[in-house]
Chains A and B, each alone.
Chain A
Amino acid sequence: MACIDNYNYEILHKGSFRECAEYIKSNYKNIRNLDAGEEIIEGVMLIGKPPIPIAYKGEYIIFPYTKPCYGSFVLKIPLNEYIKSEKKKNKKNTKGALSKLKFW
């Protein structure tokens, strides 16, 4: 499973989810709104209150990222890494998803 550390990300902003969403909406023009829980890049889900703004600028994709203990950030990753992860995601989807639920 991939995680955010596998990508060359840059932190643009840190704050509450609402502040991060506002930061994206007010600083970028090319925006798509996605639903919560969508896998934006392989292994990284969108966490927050929908609609969640995702921006594209030049060779980069910009999105809000949330960790339980650390809060929300606005991250920027290169578009070529995003495209690579899209291909992996599509391949993975054809195999079907099994629940990772375990029991004590």
Chain B
Amino acid sequence: MKIMVILGCPEPPVLIPSFIYLLNMLKNNGHEVVVSANPAALKLIETVDPEKYYLKGVGFQNIDEGLKHKFDVDIIIGFAHNDAAVNYIITYKTVYGSKTMALVFGKSINEEFVKSLEEEDIKTFTARAFHNPVPVVVQLKKLNENL
């Protein structure tokens, strides 16, 4: 399947390592991956994998560009820790019309984010995590089972 991952502001330390973990899991399962992210998040991703061990063959684009030039995607997965990320995920679902899932994470779980996403028929997972990636990894494994 062709899977698009959406990353917003990369401020939480768990975000980029969790993305690499998810990317590795998706590629190992034979999925094609594309990432739509803000420019700082893209730079961080490139920096953690200078030899492109994980990134080889992965498509990438600026989070705003991806809304202007639509292509076929089977599933969208979004990481959300702030209001803007929630709204970008909802917007991507509206534009692409694909099945969408989200992981809401942070120092505490914002129930309003979860409600907003679920009202748009986006299956939502939650993890209380900011520095420690383990709760996110547990939820990503659950998310993977729902693909």
A, B: real partners: yes
The reply to whether the CB of A49 lies closer than 8 angstroms to some CB of chain B is yes
A66 to chain B: closest CB distance in Å? 5
Q: In chain A, residues 14-73, which have Cβ atoms closer than 8 Å to a Cβ of chain B? A: 16-18, 35-37, 39, 45-50, 66-72
Q: Is B60 in contact with A72, judged by CB distance below 8 angstroms?
A: no
Please determine whether A48 and B69 come into contact, CB atoms closer than 8 angstroms.
Answer: no
A35 closest partner in B (C-beta): B94
Contact among A16, A17, A37, A100 with B65 in the assembled complex (CB-CB below 8 Å)? A100
A101 with B34: in contact, given A17-B83, A36-B91, A47-B88 (CB under 8 Å)? yes
A-binding residues in B (CB < 8 A): 8-9, 11, 34, 38, 40, 46, 52, 55-69, 71, 82-88, 90-92, 94-95, 112, 116, 119-120
Given contacts A50-B90, A102-B60, 17 further A-B contacts (CB under 8 A): A17-B83, A17-B84, A17-B87, A35-B94, A37-B91, A37-B94, A45-B67, A49-B90, A49-B119, A69-B11, A69-B84, A97-B69, A99-B61, A100-B61, A101-B69, A103-B60, A104-B46
Cβ-defined partner of B71 (8 Å) among A16, A49, A50, A99: A99
> Judging by beta carbons under 8 Å apart, are B83 and A99 in contact?
no
Interface residues of A (CB under 8 A from B): 16-18, 35-37, 39, 45-50, 66-72, 97-104
